[in-house]
Each structure stands twice: as structure tokens, then as C-alpha cells.
Chains A and B, each alone.
Chain A
């Protein structure tokens, strides 16, 4: 009997082809826009998290617990506190990097300004931090260089270029003065503001300048897939034997970035909600029309002995199939576009790029292929259809064959 009801529901869809086409199109179009919007949003988050976090902050970061509150050289780590090889072996970990970060007054002539000093391992970080792509003038660092890379913005401020020398002055380990003269080996261009005032030097040189040989400020852990974060965090926590060590996720290290993304995600939710409302009203309109068109027939079916539960089953199946076709088309139409932009993100220019940079993001436009986004939004449309369908359930529960058969 159920099979016949499903078959009846399927055939009922095509009784009014124009209406079926319009309903399917409106569901598909709305879902297409929602998917496009959400996949773009989540791709942007992923892309920016990757760019911001990977290589500089790390998806996970190990520090001395005192370093969390007071980021001074005295609170740095030594390599014998952590077995880095064991962490490297954990499934999902793509890289483990020791880092040395501090701050120093950078000056030349009468100009001086505070800048972040980033001790990097040129063998890995040139690639990891995409320094090769950001280099605008000069050459990249080598591990044994006694030179620095600065940003173009700093170069503009100090009116210096490759080959000029800058003075760096800061505080070293246990109160030592950290001061040195460094030639500029290259100029870098960072679009995102936080990186615009940064000095890069080989980690060995940074440790030497701060009188902190074999010490590092933190251990940075990168992941193959950001979804593995909770599991990898658990595994690393097990490996940390020293109670003074503190393991933090990028969300704890950069709460501002997390809040920014959440805020943006909420604005996306509002737009999605508006699109969902359009879907909801579209489906509701179809349901009201469908009921009014078939009121007489429902009366006849009830008169000849079709139970209300059967009528509800037939109608709900019809609406479910109709919505599912819309959902299927929405996904099928969206996928090629999403796939293309996923593999070929567009680099924006002009005012649009500036606006995105001002929000702290990289000016790229791409879309994700996140399965959970496809599933969640498809399910949302089906749930909306189910909610809109309560109208017809209510009508069918109250059906009176005589009233329904009055013409």
C-alpha cells in the first residue's frame, strides 16, 4: 500500500507541471545562493585561518605557561622540555616548528618604532609563511644569515631599502640588552595589517641577539586538516609531561580572529535566514494552492474510506519529493561553480580588495566544498518544507468530506 501511496505522491507532483517547475526552481535557486554564500564564507575563514595561523601561530601552540600572561624572553622554553619527535608522529600533524618571537625598537637616523621580531627557520618558513610570494625586493634569508627582512611599509617609514642597515634594540634573556645592527636583505609585502610591522631574521640569529641560545618562545604545530584539531589536541596533551607547559589552540591564542569570524558567520546566517524565508514562503504558497486545488479530491478520498493518516502520508510524501528534487537541483547546479572557485580562487583588486584587507582578511574570493555545508543547508530546506507542510497536516486532520466536496 505504501508503495502505491508513494507512486501516487510522485504522479501528483506532475499534475501541475508549471507549479512543480516553479517550486523546484525557487527551492533550487535559494539553495544555490545559500550554498554559494556559506561555502564562500567558510572557505574564506579556512583560507584566512590557514594563512594567519599556519606557520606563525599554529593550529596548536605549546608555550611555557608563564609565557601566556607575560610574553618575555625569560619565560621561553628549552628543547629538553618537549619531545618534538613524538609530537611529529601524531596522526594529523603536518609539521612541528620551534619559534622565537620578541619585540624590539627598530631605528635608523631620527626615526624609531617598535616592531615584532620573528625568528624563523628559513629552510621551512620561507615556504610556510609564503615569504617567497611576498618578497617584493631583495632575496630571502638563509639559516646562517646575519640579516633581516622587513615589510615594505616599514621601509617606506624609515626611507630605507635593500642593503641599508637598521638598529634593533630590545631586552634579552635574564636582563641582557639585545641590540644589534642588521642589513636589510629583502622587502616583503603583507596585505593583512597585523603583519605590516614585522622584522624577520633567522631563528639562530634571533636567539643569539637575545642571548637566548637554544631557547624558543613557542612550538607551533600545523595540521593536515583543521577538522582534526580536537583529536590532535587530545593526543598532544597526553605527550606533554612537564606541568609547566601550556597547550593552546589558535582560537585561544587569537581570540580576536575567532570573534571576527564568528561575527561574520552570524551575518551570513542572517542572509541565509532571509533566503530560507523565501524558500519557506515559496513552499507554503505551493501547499496552500495544492490544498485548495485538491480539496474536493481529498473530500472524495475521505468519503470512500481513505484515512486521514493515509491522506497525510500521500501529501507529505509529495511535498518531500518535491522539496528533495529542488534540493538535488540546487546542489547539482551549485557544485560546478563551487568546485571551480575552490580550485581557482580569484585575487581581488581595487576597492573591494581594500575593504577585505581592512577587515583583516586576505583579498581572495573562493568557495569551499565542505560536505557539512551541503548537508546542513539541504537538511535546513527539507526541515523548512516540513514546517510549512504542517498547514496541510492541520487541514487534513480536520477534513470534513461533505464540506470538502461542496463546489
Chain B
């Protein structure tokens, strides 16, 4: 199976001297295509820092991060932005859709950045919105959608550009139990049917229960890596 994420002895320190915090300490992981992985740990354990690293949003003080066969240390800021656009899909805790764009326009935004032709964009976005149960809601602005619906639009936005993997930072934190279940069902289906790789950072036991692999972090170290 193809490796999509690899971290090798990654070390991240915030601050200097006596107030230095070792957010990640020699973290080495491999995540393969098609995995459904949860990063779990208490606050301050380093899971968000690790998610930022594998999302190409931050760089380590030492160690290597190889994402979809690319060592990100070799990329400058602009190349990194471009790399994220083409390879990584993000789903955020607070959905973070653009409030003035409709569900359809939000979903197609990354494809627009990639200069994908209009017809192809249209076809893919309508198909995905239908798959996630948002048929008929294409023209609704985020403010006209429920939290669960907004998060599904965010998933479609992440998926539409066909990334190598999707990172979801506490995706269910703002959702009620029904919306959480619907979202997890959707992600699990996409993982099974389209072999899409998902990595979550979460506290939510419902997400942990559905994960096929759970990586436990504490004090910036991996304390357990459980395959299910």
C-alpha cells in the first residue's frame, strides 16, 4: 500500500530556554493510503501540532516529513501552499466555509484554484453534494445551513479536488449526535468505497470508536498505536 504520510523523528519545540515546550518529541509515524486514523490525546499532547505538520502548515525543528512522496522541507512557502491545494483536504472544527459563497461555490472553491474546467467542476460538485445528502441545497449560503450540513459541505470542499488524504481537526466538536453520526457514516463510506485516507485529531469517543487505527499521544510522544 502506498505511504501517503510519513514523519521521521520529528521534533517540534515552542519557545526557548527554560520556557521551551517540546510539543513533539521524536515522532515517527507512517499512514498508508486508505487508512481511517484518529490522533487522540489530552490537551497539550501534541495532536494538533502533529496535524499541522502533516498538513504542511508548520515545519519541524528537526526530523523529516514526507507527504505523498514529497519531503516538505524542500518546498518554499508558495510551493507549500500549492502542495496543500493539490494534495491535502482540510475539514475544520468550525467548518470555516466562506460565508458569502453558496454551498456549491464553497465546494468548488479549491477546484477553481486548480483551474479545473467548469463542466468538470459542476459535475463533480453536484455529484458529491448529492452523495452527502445536500441535493437542493446548492444555492444556500452557510448561514442558511445547519452545523451538520455545513460540515458536509466542508467535507465536499475537501474531497472535490481529489486530494491524497483528508485531515480533519475535531470535525465533530460542534455537531449534535445525529449530525456526528451522519458525518462519520459519510466519511466511513468514502473511506471504504473510494479508498480515501482520513486522519482525525479528536477527543470524541464516537470518532475514536469508528477509527480503524488510533494513535495515542501524550507529552509530544506516541504512547500507543492501535490497529483495529
Contact = CB atoms under 8 A, between A and B. Distances in A.
Contact of B57 (A14, A301, A401): A401
B21 interface: no
Interface in A286-338: 296-297, 300-308, 310
Interface string B91-125: 01000101111000100011011010000000000
Interface in B173-223: none
Interface stretch (B2-10, B31-39, B77-85, B132-140): B77-85
Contacts of A302: 81
Contact of A15 (B99, B109, B157): B99
Most chain A beta-carbon neighbours within 10 Å: one of B52, B90, B99, B112: B112
Nearest to B101: A8
Contact of B100 (A11, A307, A308): A11
Interface in A376-407: 401-402
Contacts of A304: 84-85, 90, 109-110, 157-158
A12 interface: yes
A308 B109 CA distance: 15
Contacts, number: 57
B78 A305 contact: no
Given A307-B113, A401-B57, A300 B96 contact: yes
B58 interface: yes
Contacts of B41: none
A306 B101 CA distance: 15
B15 to A, nearest CB: 15
A402 B52 contact: yes
A270 interface: no
A1 interface: yes
Contacts of B82: 305, 307
Interface residues of B, number: 26
Contacts of A402: 52, 57-58
A4 interface: yes
B98 A8 contact: yes
Contact of A310 (B84, B98, B99, B113): B113
B171 interface: no
A1 B113 CA distance: 7
Contact of A11 (B86, B92, B101, B109): B101
Interface string A87-130: 00000000000000000000000000000000000000000000
A8 B81 contact: no
A102 B139 CA distance: 84
A310 B81 CA distance: 11
Interface in A355-380: none
Given A1-B112, A308-B78, A297 B96 contact: yes
A15 B101 CA distance: 11
A303 B158 CA distance: 11
B55 interface: yes
A123 B78 CA distance: 79
B86 A15 contact: no
A331 to B, nearest CB: 28
A297 B101 CA distance: 13
Contacts of A4: 105, 109, 112
Contacts of B112: 1, 4
Contacts of A401: 57
A45 to B, nearest CB: 47
Interface in B45-72: 52, 55, 57-58
Nearest to A12: B100
A9 to B, nearest CB: 10
Nearest to B169: A405
A302 B158 CA distance: 14
A305 B113 contact: yes
Contacts of A8: 98, 100-101
B90 to A, nearest CB: 5
B100 A303 contact: no
Interface in A1-20: 1, 4, 8, 11-12, 14-15
A15 B110 CA distance: 22
B86 A305 contact: yes
Nearest to B49: A402
B81 A308 contact: yes
B57 A306 contact: no
A307 B81 contact: yes
A300 B113 contact: no
A65 B152 CA distance: 88
B100 A306 contact: no
A183 to B, nearest CB: 84
Contacts of A310: 113
A8 B101 CA distance: 7
A303 B113 contact: no
Top 4 A-B residue pairs of the complex, sorted by shortest distance between their CB atoms: A305-B85, A11-B100, A300-B96, A305-B84
Interface of A: 1, 4, 8, 11-12, 14-15, 296-297, 300-308, 310, 401-402
Interface of B: 52, 55, 57-58, 78, 81-82, 84-86, 88, 90, 92, 96, 98-101, 105, 109-110, 112-113, 115, 157-158
28 contacts: A1-B112, A1-B115, A4-B105, A8-B101, A11-B101, A15-B99, A300-B90, A300-B92, A300-B96, A301-B98, A303-B57, A304-B84, A304-B90, A304-B158, A305-B81, A305-B84, A305-B85, A305-B86, A305-B88, A305-B110, A305-B113, A306-B81, A306-B85, A307-B81, A307-B85, A307-B113, A310-B113, A402-B52
Given A1-B112, A305-B113, 13 more contacts: A14-B100, A15-B99, A15-B100, A297-B98, A300-B90, A300-B92, A303-B84, A304-B84, A304-B85, A305-B81, A305-B110, A308-B81, A402-B58
